[in-house]
Chain A
Amino acid sequence: MQISPFLFGDKIMNERTADPILTTEGIPLKVSLQKAERRNKIRATLLVAPLLFFILITFLIPIGDMLLRSVDDSYINTVFPKTFEKYKKWDRQGLPSEELYKTMFFEVKEGSGYSIGKATTRMNYAKSGWKSLLKKSKRKFKKIEEGPYKEQMIAIDKRWGDMEYWKALGVMVDPTTAGYYLNAVDLKYNVDKEIVQQKENRRIYNHTWVKTFKVSLLVMFFCLILGYPISYLLSTLPLKYSNLLMICVLLPFWTSLLVRTVAWMVMLQQKGVFNNLLVMANVIADENRFKLMYNETATIIVMTQILLPFMVLPLYSVMRTISPNYMRAALNLGASPLHAFWKIYMPNSVPGISAGCMLVFILAIGYYITPELVGGKDGQMIGNWIAYHLKTTLNWGLSAALGAILLGVLTVLYWVYNKLVGIENIKLG
């Protein structure tokens, strides 16, 4: 242990005896040190505690909850526990026995309206029609006093005699399900709980996943192409000009996202500013106006503009630290400007490129409001489906699964990046 002599006085340095080293108060130094350190540790922990608590509440718990929701299927088991118990013994050949019908009958008849209401929403995901069947049954079962129940139930609604409905229950028997994840990649359980492809006209997600990655990569690419020269200029200009330019970069950043998006709508729509100018200048004919709004092109253009500062800022702060002497030296030693740039400047700016690309890509992949507003029919991304299921269908399990996949993909990308480039190579300034 090396301890500065100035800290504890000469005593420590001079008395190298077998006795424990004591402080001036006569307490062993080790204990005293630990005490001091403990106090520091507590102080440090207290300082970090609010942040830790904040992250726990706003970040870790919601993510944990999301991951749970994406596999949780236990609710329905609490609504029809006895039915599901009996259901497991059903051979799935021919209609169930009177006993199973009877159990279902009583659990529907005596169950609380709300819990059955919630359960039917879930059951409808497995097979459309459960909702109205149970709603109707709940009303009509009140009039049935005694068994046998099977015939009476089928008489109320012939769907009770449809094997497909009974088989569909089997998908929900387990308290956890991979069903939401399957749905998120256009697969599903059929009524026999085999994994099959979704019907062709209902396949939306794989297509959207591909599109989401494509759009995010393109946006990242365009941001880099556009942001690199600006950042270079910013970092090399004298301060009084670069400050002005910096404000130009930051100004859109300070403007509301919605305002910018709507401004683009005005600019790009078929009878918008851009097309009007071109028509007025006779560059294009009136009937050949460009379709730049409400499609994928619009999504890419608008997102690029919105995310550009996230590329420029890290690039700029890294470029500012690259000494101009390197380039001068390379040129002096006979490299062509292009060669010097490629061999000297570019590698030096890689940390900024990495940081900018990561930021833009991660932000882009979860984007939702811009594609919603300008994306039209083919510019929608996975975030739009997450929002749709959260808000409209209330299929939160599917939303959670889509979100979890997004999180998983990003984690994998981050890992790959770390392996290839090294995370220590990221620099924000």
Chain B
Amino acid sequence: MFKLIKAAFLGLIAMAFTASSYADITFVSWGGAYTNSQQKAYIDTWSKGSGVTVESYNGGLGEIKAQVEAGNVTWDVVDVLPDQAITGCDEGLFEKVDQSEFLNDLVVPPVSECVVPQIFWAYTVFYDKAAFPGKKPKRMKDFFDVKKFPGKRGIHTWANALIEMALVADGVKPKKVYDVMSTPEGIDRAFAKLDTIKDHVVFWSAGSKPLELVSSGEVVMAIAYNGRIGAAILSEGKDFEYIWDGTVLEQEYLVAIKGGKNTAEALEFMAHASSAASNAEQAKYIPYGPMRKSSINIIKKGEPWFIKEGGNIDILPHMPTTPKVLKKAVIADPYWWADNGAEVSERFGAWKGN
């Protein structure tokens, strides 16, 4: 017995030593189905010396800024939104990266010198088909029409995309949305449109929440991240339907935090994570649109691409980056938000609270 304990103890020590000879990369992302897809697409296939520890966060640069200012950086690679990618790169929170490998392969140019491409995701309105037995909502303006389609709406607690959607619902062409938003009257117009559903909204802040809200019948329609809707339809067999009209496309990037303990490895990992193959691979598990043109081609050739037990499924109908969707979609402008985000957010806060 004693020998056994001793052996186990020595084993533990040995494990501790082998583990500590490589520092793990800490990869921070949003959790849920999204992080799951990242895990399968490029974390599990990462075979360099170090392991990868995955953590979740709720976005924002606050924690990153705190780590960098305190000189105690514990995160290495973080999955960020474009406006954070801009601000963080400007303020020197992120490492600059070599972008030559993918620069000519992207659907839109990268927002800063610190990023490697991930995916396009979208704020998309969806509903449970059972909630509308008769006429079904089809356009963004239906989401804002509580007379025609009564019931609560699930919306997120911040202003991004809601301003754009309100304007599309009010008749602004998707391509003209930011021209209108750049005038004070345009913002007033968006808030006036939001007023029409104000008494009918339920707010959510975690990405899994709108799906629960719609599933439980707490709301009849909700805005959600399109990948979560897709995952619910494809993997859980939910009978949800998208409203692609006025959907707002956002970019998603990876960055390396400056002053991390293993920056060199983090950069290597990012190169692996942003390769055309990895970008395409991710779409096997979640219907977000790759940013790399070559990845989209890989998927097209590989359909049915989405992995499911009992037969794979075509993924392109669930992607926000098909030409059909792009025609009706707004591509979010991170520069506009970096500039006006604080002001509009405060106004949105006032709108929410009063």
Contact = CB atoms under 8 A, between A and B. Distances in A.
B61 interface: yes
A380 B349 CA distance: 10
Contacts of A113: 90, 92
A376 B203 contact: yes
Nearest to B336: A132
B87 interface: yes
Interface in B197-222: 201-203, 205, 216-218
Contacts of A120: 90
B191 A201 contact: yes
Contacts of B89: 117
B339 A392 contact: no
B65 interface: yes
B238 to A, nearest CB: 17
A126 to B, nearest CB: 11
Contacts of A377: 201, 203, 352-353
Interface string A386-402: 00101111110000000
Interface string B84-110: 000101111000000000000000000
Contact of B339 (A114, A124, A208, A385): A124
**Interface centre among B63, B65, B349, by most A CB within 10 Å?**
B349
B342 A271 contact: no
A294 B218 CA distance: 11
Contacts of B87: 117, 121, 394
A271 B341 CA distance: 35
Contact of B349 (A132, A135, A270, A385): A385
Nearest to B62: A391
A124 B90 CA distance: 14
A249 interface: no
What is the interface residue range for chain A against chain B? 35 or more
B308 to A, nearest CB: 30
Given A271-B217, A294-B203, A392 B158 contact: yes
A213 to B, nearest CB: 15
B352 A380 contact: yes
B335 interface: yes
B354 interface: yes
A117 B91 contact: yes
B92 A114 contact: yes
A211 B350 CA distance: 13
A117 B341 contact: no
Given A114-B91, A114-B92, A204-B353, A129 B339 contact: yes
A85 B62 CA distance: 32
A294 B92 CA distance: 38
B353 to A, nearest CB: 6
Contacts of B347: 201-202
B60 A128 contact: no
A391 B203 contact: no
Interface string A205-228: 001100100000000000000000
A400 to B, nearest CB: 13
Contacts of B216: 269, 271
A392 B203 contact: no
Nearest to A399: B62
B272 to A, nearest CB: 27
A395 B191 contact: no
Contacts of B60: 391-392
B346 interface: yes
Interface string A112-146: 01101110110011001101100100000000000
Interface in B304-347: 335, 338-343, 345-347
Nearest to B92: A114
A211 B349 CA distance: 14
A372 interface: yes
Interface in A241-278: 269-271
Interface in A343-381: 372, 376-378, 380
B58 interface: yes
B181 to A, nearest CB: 12
Contacts of A320: none
A203 B350 contact: yes
B259 to A, nearest CB: 13
Nearest to B69: A396
A129 B90 CA distance: 15
B81 to A, nearest CB: 10
A135 B90 contact: yes
A202 B217 CA distance: 33
B185 to A, nearest CB: 13
A385 B348 CA distance: 12
13 contacts: A113-B92, A117-B89, A117-B92, A132-B335, A202-B346, A204-B349, A208-B353, A271-B218, A372-B205, A377-B201, A391-B60, A391-B63, A393-B342
Interface of B: 58-63, 65, 87, 89-92, 158, 191, 201-203, 205, 216-218, 335, 338-343, 345-347, 349-354
Given A207-B354, A393-B345, 13 more contacts: A114-B91, A117-B92, A118-B90, A124-B339, A131-B338, A202-B343, A203-B350, A294-B203, A376-B202, A377-B201, A391-B62, A392-B60, A395-B342
**Interface pairs A-B: 5 shortest CB-CB:** A117-B90, A114-B92, A391-B60, A391-B62, A132-B339
